Structures are given as structure tokens and as C-alpha cells.
Amino acid sequence: MSSASPSSGHVTSYFFEDLTPGKSATFTKTVTEADIMKYAEVSGDTNPLHLDAGFAATTMFKERIAHGMLSAGFISAAFGTVMPGSGGVYVAQNLQFKRPVKIGDVVTARIEVTGTIPEKKFVQFKTQCLVNDKVVIDGDATLMVPARG
């Protein structure tokens, strides 16, 4: 198992041949107020559920929550920096949002190889984000991964 932090700046590189079923990696990040504000600015998603405490208090969540796609981005970070790292290209991603993520939550994105499609150099993964060992996002992904040589 591999892991990295967002501030490490380290990018690993696995080739298609290195990725076998069961191989897994994680990426962990604490969601901050600044993350939510930056995500709203970059994405254009200014839903008051994420930005306005007064509005959020009137919802089923009773407080502001992070954008679901912000947390899903940690899966992308795991792929881009940990496994496969440089050279991997997203082909598909399915997501189910199970629980809200709040400011201050520590989110761990976990990816695990479930299969390969050798003729296309595709690698299939189970993807999850967890907070306190509870699944907040569940899904699967397919990436195209460079082969050796």
C-alpha cells in the first residue's frame, strides 16, 4: 500500500505491468474552509449549501457541507500522485455519494486494482472516500496506463 499527502509534491509512477488485482493506495486530505471557497471559485458551483451557514442550517444537513466533487477530486489525486501516478489517464469514473463531508473532516481516498484489460492497457479500480472509516463516496474507475518500453 502506498500513500501520499497533498503537500508532499511526490509523484510515483507505475506501469501497466505493475498493476495487479489487489494492489491499493491511499491519499488523505483534511477539508478546509479555504478548500471549499477555492473549489467554488474554480468550479463556479456557488450553491449556498456549501457557502452560506444560514442557508445550510435550514437543510437536512444543518450545516455547510463540502462539494461532493471536491472530495471526489481526492480520488483523482490518488491516481495522479500515488498510483499509477504520472502518465495515467482517466477513461471512466462512477460515483455514489453516501454521506456528507464537512469542514475539518479528514478524507481518505482509497483506490484498489480490480482488473485489467491488456489489449487496451486499461486498469480497473474500486474507488472510495472515507471519513472516520465510513464510506462517503463509493465507485469504480478505469484508467489507461502506459506500458513499459
Residue 145: partners with Cβ closer than 8 Å, 6 or more residues away:
14, 15, 16, 19, 84, 87, 88, 89, 121, 122, 123
pLDDT at 30 over 80: yes
pLDDT in the model for residue 12: 73
Q: Which domains does the chain have, with CATH numbers?
A: 13-144 (3.10.129.10)
The C-alpha atoms of residue 147 and residue 110 are separated, in whole angstroms, by 23
* From 4-8, 17-21, 61-65, the region with the lowest mean pLDDT: 4-8
Distance of CA 134 to the CA centre of its chain: 15
pLDDT in the model for residue 10: 66
pTM for the predicted model, two decimal places:
0.90
Q: Which residue type, as a one-letter code, is found at position 56?
A: A
pLDDT at 9 over 80: no
pLDDT at 11 over 50: yes
C-alpha cell at 95: 460515483
pLDDT at 48 over 70: yes
Residue 13: partners with Cβ closer than 8 Å, 6 or more residues away:
84, 85, 86, 87
pLDDT in the model for residue 7: 46
